[in-house]
Amino acid sequence: MPDWQKWRKIKYEAELDPGFADKIASIPGGEKLFKCIQCGTCSGMCPLSPDMDYTPRQIIAMIRAGFKKEVLSSHTCWLCASCYACTVECPKEIKITDIMYAAKRLAIQEKVYPKRFAIPVLAREFFNGVKRQGRSNESFLLTRLYLKTNPLQLFKQAFLGLQLFYRGRMSLKLESIEHKNELKALLNSLEKEPLMKSKTGTPVATGEGAR
């Protein structure tokens, strides 16, 4: 594809993914997505919209239109801090925060999240840690996070870690629960559940293929 073709933002119908909106709308209460009036209240409330490549309102519009690749590879959902400011003010009661979570999950599933971006790694490490121990261990979590994304950060943060440790706020003891088997049985029983179902059954293509 010639370079200038990549800059094109307007799309032909055939380049969109018509099943994408349904897939996002399959989360609990997600069908309200189609009621969006594009008023922009969500973007106005969002403390992070100045840092986003697409504002929450744009993301909603793009989801409805089927801009799957753009939505899943945008920084927006990873910048979302789950503060729910948008959700409580939306005149159409759209659960925008939950939609951001759904976008994060799909992006991880399809491996299209921004490369070496710390947040998906944090989420994944957290997930694995809790699965093993039943509890999250902040000091181990952060160490693994920095080792995987940006080892230099580890040294930059070491001073803070030391200060926390000195004040007894960072423990080197691995916290875990007693009945790990019970938790394992609980989580394993859900393993077979699909993350999100697509009503139209359109297979969701991965990153490059969606181009």
Partner 1 sequence: MSYLYFPGCSLKSTGRGYEESILPVFEALQMPVKELNDWNCCGATAYMSINELTAFALSARNLALAEKQNPDSRSETVNLMAPCAGCYLVLNKTERYLKEFPDIRKKISDSLKSANLEYKGKVKVRHPLDILVNDFGTDKLSKQVKNPLRGLKIACYYGCQIVRPYAEFDDQHNPITMDRLMQAIGATTVDWPLKTRCCGGSLTGTIQDVGLRLSYIILREAKKRGADLVATACPLCQFNLECFQNKMGRLYHDEVNMPVFYFSQLIGLALGIPAKKLAMERSFVPLKTSDMAKIMEGGTNVRS
Residues that bind partner 1 (CB under 8 A): 27-29, 47-48, 51, 78-79, 81-85, 87-88, 95, 97, 101-102, 104-105, 108, 117-120, 122-124, 126-127, 130, 134-139, 142, 145, 160, 163-164, 167-171, 175, 177-179, 182-183, 185-190, 193, 195
Q: Which residues of 46-59 are buried (b: 16+ CB within 10 A; e: fewer)?
A: beebeebebbbbbb
Question: Is residue 204 within 8 Å of residue 23, measured between CB atoms?
Answer: yes
104 interacts with, out of partner 1, ligand SF4, none, CB within 5 to 8 A per kind: partner 1
**Binding partner at 92 among ligand SF4, partner 1, none, C-beta below 5 to 8 Å by kind:** ligand SF4
In the complex, the smallest distance separating the C-beta of residue 151 from partner 1, rounded to whole angstroms, is 15
* CB-based contact 76:17 (threshold 8 Å): no
Nearer to partner 1, 74 or 137 (CB): 137
The Cα–Cα gap between 149 and 163 comes to 23
Per partner kind, with CB cut-offs from 5 to 8 A, the member of partner 1, ligand SF4, none near residue 41 is ligand SF4
The binder of 88, among partner 1, ligand SF4, none, by C-beta within 5 to 8 A per type, is partner 1
Partner in contact with 34, chosen from partner 1, ligand SF4, none, beta carbon below 5 to 8 Å by kind: none
112 contact partners, CB below 8 Å, separation of at least 6: 69, 72, 73, 206, 207
Instruction: Please report how many Cα atoms fall inside a 13 Å half-sphere around the Cα of residue 170, on the Cβ side.
Output: 16
**Full DSSP string of 68-125:** HHHHHHSSHHHH-----HHHHH-TT---HHHHHHHHHHHHHHTT-SPTT-HHHHHHHH
CA angle 127, 77, 207 (to 5 degrees): 85
If the CB atoms of residues 147 and 160 are measured against partner 1, the closer one turns out to be 160
Could you list the residues that contact ligand SF4 (CB under 6 A)? 36-42, 45-46, 48, 56-57, 60, 80-86, 90-92, 94, 96-97, 100
Between residues 37 and 160, which has the closer beta carbon with respect to ligand SF4?
A: 37
105 vs 132, beta carbon nearer ligand SF4: 105
